[in-house]
Homo-oligomer: A and B are copies of this chain.
Amino acid sequence: MPTLTLEDIARQTGVSRSTVSRVLNNHPSVREEVRQRVLAAIEASGYQPHAAARTLASKRSFTIGLILPQSVSFFFTDPYYPHLIKGIAQACNQHDYTLALFLVGTREEEEKIFPRISGKGFLDGVLIQSGHHGDQWIIGRMLDIKMPVVVCGRPFRSDNVSYIDVDNIRAAHQAVSHLIRLGRQRIATITGPFASTVGLDRLEGYKKALQERGLPIQENLIVEGDFTEEGGYYAMQRLLPHQPDAVFAASDLMALGAIRAAKEAGLRVPEQIAFVGFDDFPLASSNEIRLTTIRQPVVQFGIQAVELLIDLIEHGHQPPRRVILDTELIIRDTCGAARRQ
């Protein structure tokens, strides 16, 4: 394989390098007949442009990075991430971008990886999955070097950066209001980590719903969780002594763990205690337990994140933008509303 270049195609076709380049980038000012001839030669020879050469000359790599910082690597096995990645990958394919994945497990890794991410000639822009305190550093660094950035999930300091998120406050509010409407009085919540905006926002929605209906906010009905099944299980054990009659869990996985704890304690779901989760992943519906939950459009979230980023890349520096997606309450069995249907 003598490594075909533009030059070769040019020679074969009897045109100049420039013309072949124009055809490749489908520049309008090429005579149709010539274009066809060049295209044919490219096809016949199996020529493929050299990505690095192209990037070097054009300053565009058509590659974007997805950074999953240390704070998420722990949760990475949560079904949320495959869904998110699916959306992101789909959008990248669609728009002819390549996706580079940076999954960092430790802070040292984060710093080690940083030059590759920020280095010139590699990424056109980055998506940062965040919402965690610890990620401010990396977001700040990307902004410093003027790399186009879209943060997935509202970051703690959001004034100068574009981000996309779901309306967590509204979603949680809706879930809890639903429980209140069903007559539940002692509604507890298992939150996400307080070091994350998701955790905080969903808690806020919970509080807001209670307040609106004149129910008291009791600190002992609020337990911080960590988005894992185990975490939900232990959180529920702490909740049990305070006898909640409903629980809003900030993720399906935690809801499942909580239900396990409740059942172990001899409680009947949903008669004695109702549950609402958050995410609506397959395990929520195909399980023995048919979970009432909030559906997040995660795949769509990924797609829109990519499209926002590409827009920032291609249309230069604009003021930061934000996209907020809506969620949907999916009523199944664990909230005890089923008998009404």
Contacts and interface: CB of A to CB of B under 8 A. Distances in A.
Interface in A34-70: 48-56, 61, 63, 66
A99 interface: yes
B51 A122 contact: yes
B120 A283 contact: no
Interface string A278-305: 0001110011100000000000000000
B56 A53 contact: yes
Interface string A8-45: 00000000000000000000000000000000000000
How many subunits of this chain does the assembly comprise? 2
A118 interface: yes
Interface of A: 1, 3, 48-56, 61, 63, 66, 73, 76-79, 81-83, 85-86, 89-90, 93, 96, 98-105, 109, 112-113, 115-116, 118-122, 145-146, 228-230, 233, 256-257, 260, 263, 281-283, 286-288
A280 to B, nearest CB: 12
A115 B48 contact: yes
A3 B120 contact: yes
A70 to B, nearest CB: 11
A123 to B, nearest CB: 9
A49 B93 contact: no
Contact of A82 (B53, B77, B228, B229): B77
A52 B121 CA distance: 5
Contacts of A90: 103, 105
Given A93-B112, A119-B51, A230-B286, A99 B100 contact: yes
A85 B66 CA distance: 13
B52 A233 contact: no
B146 A50 contact: no
